[in-house]
Amino acid sequence: MNWIELDRQHVWHPYNSLPSKSDLLSVKSTDKTSIFLEDGRELIDGMSSWWSCIHGYNHPRLIKAIKDQADIMPHIMFGGIAHEKASILASKLAKLTGLNSVFLCDSGSVSVEVALKTAIQYQEAKGLKKYKFISLEHAYHGDTLAAMSVCDPNNSMHSIYGSYLPKHIFTQAPELGFTADCSSSIKALEDTFLKHEKEVAGFILEPVVQGAGGMRIYNPEFLRKARELCSKYDILLIADEIATGFGHTGKMFACDWADIKPDIMTLGKGLTGGYMTMAAMITSKEVSDTISNSNLGILMHGPTFMGNPLACSVAIESLNLLEEGSWQKNVLNIEKIFKEELSYAKELNIVKDIRNIGAIGVIELKDESKAQEIQDYCVEHGVWIRPFGKLIYSIVAYTIKDEDLRRIIKTMIDAIKSIETR
């Protein structure tokens, strides 16, 4: 029996039935920004594997980091044990973020869980019973239960798990647009803080770009205000930089657009260059000291694969590549190409909005139902994208060639045109 038949029998795919109701692409291998299918076709990758593969696939230095570490020590438990690669990675992350205390974990959603637990423990350590979180409409913070509970309640899986999830406080999302007037959402935020300050442990947000909840780019001014309010009410600011981190918006972290530091940051996706699963929750020294000096005195979390040395090694090498610095020039160039090429979508009837920042380009349609058709068209024409709902978007590796990026965007627009004329 061939493996594709085995997949149909046994493998549950993301957000899918078993077997899948739509065709799955059978991928054989990858290289740079190309995906090679079992049937011999080559697709240009417009997704960078859910925004993680920032240096492209099969990068010789990243591959070497994994191979070398595999010979030395592929894994060791982290409880009661320290190892060099974790300490190098943590110190690099501390330096890069301007924060201090690094908790390594398995995936983005888990780092959000740990961030929420940390915020609760911090408030407990101060003798406060604050168990609620403020989050934004259109927020996305992951698929595990606590992470889901701070995702937009209307636009996520809340309705499925409804009464199981804790109820948190949602405030108006910042207005769409990097330079938009955000006085209305700021006013709403002030009111929310005033009303709930006594019960709220933290305010979690995706800085500057709300990702999977709507690909919404907003004004960094909102972030500055969030920082100010959190400091004023001693509510922890949790910046979920899992999607935006490591250069995706043109700055190393999206918080840099507002020159602010959160109390807690979550990182994932691009952390290992997209080669291994790993995420991090990073806090200020104030937060880790407060918890460490409390009665309990410890942070209560410890995943089996915490600090996996293979993942640490490849993350270190990915950070080395970023430190060498050409990402910034590359992302600026990508941003310029997105801006130019996306403008051709503006006049199409079924297009509601186009927007872009850094390595992220988005076309929002007026109508929900066309995502699968657009994906199919792009694949037929040699491009891999995976739209959701009304959002046709691409987030590319920083190493993509100009002509490949132009082809991705042109194919996205052609796909929309093909639907419009049908």
Ligand X SMILES: *Cc1c(COP(=O)(O)O)cnc(C)c1O
**Interface residues with ligand X (CB under 6 A)?**
107-109, 112, 140-142, 206, 211-212, 240, 242-243, 268-269
Q: Is 386 annotated among the ligand-binding residues?
A: yes
Q: Is 398 annotated among the ligand-binding residues?
A: no
Active site residue 402: no
Active site residue 240: yes
Residue among 45, 152, 240, 256 flagged as catalytic: 240
Q: Please, which residue, 370 or 390, has the CB nearer to ligand X?
A: 390
Residue among 130, 251, 269, 370 flagged as catalytic: 269
- Residue whose beta carbon is closest to ligand X: 108
Q: Is 50 annotated among the ligand-binding residues?
A: yes
Q: Please, which residue, 55 or 141, has the CB nearer to ligand X?
A: 141
Q: How far is the CB of 200 from ligand X (least distance, A)?
A: 20
Q: How far is the CB of 389 from ligand X (least distance, A)?
A: 15
Q: Please, which residue, 108 or 153, has the CB nearer to ligand X?
A: 108
Q: Are 209 and 216 in contact (CB under 8 A)?
A: yes
Q: Is 240 annotated among the ligand-binding residues?
A: yes
Q: Please, which residue, 211 or 309, has the CB nearer to ligand X?
A: 211
Q: How far is the CB of 264 from ligand X (least distance, A)?
A: 13
Q: How far is the CB of 138 from ligand X (least distance, A)?
A: 11
Q: Please, which residue, 104 or 351, has the CB nearer to ligand X?
A: 104
Q: Is 251 annotated among the ligand-binding residues?
A: no
Q: How far is the CB of 414 from ligand X (least distance, A)?
A: 28
Active site residue 339: no
Report long-range pairs for 78-86 (Cβ below 8 Å, ≥24 apart): 78/104, 78/302, 78/306, 78/307, 79/302, 79/306, 83/307, 83/309, 83/312, 85/309, 85/312, 85/313, 85/316, 86/307, 86/309, 86/312
Residue among 15, 21, 39, 71 flagged as catalytic: 15
Q: Is 109 annotated among the ligand-binding residues?
A: yes
Q: Is 7 annotated among the ligand-binding residues?
A: no
Binding site for substrate: residue ranges? Answer: 50, 140, 269, 302, 386
Binding site for pyridoxal 5'-phosphate: residue ranges? Answer: 108-109, 240, 303-304
Which residues participate in catalysis according to the annotation? Answer: 15, 140, 240, 269
Binding site: residue ranges? Answer: 50, 108-109, 140, 240, 269, 302-304, 386
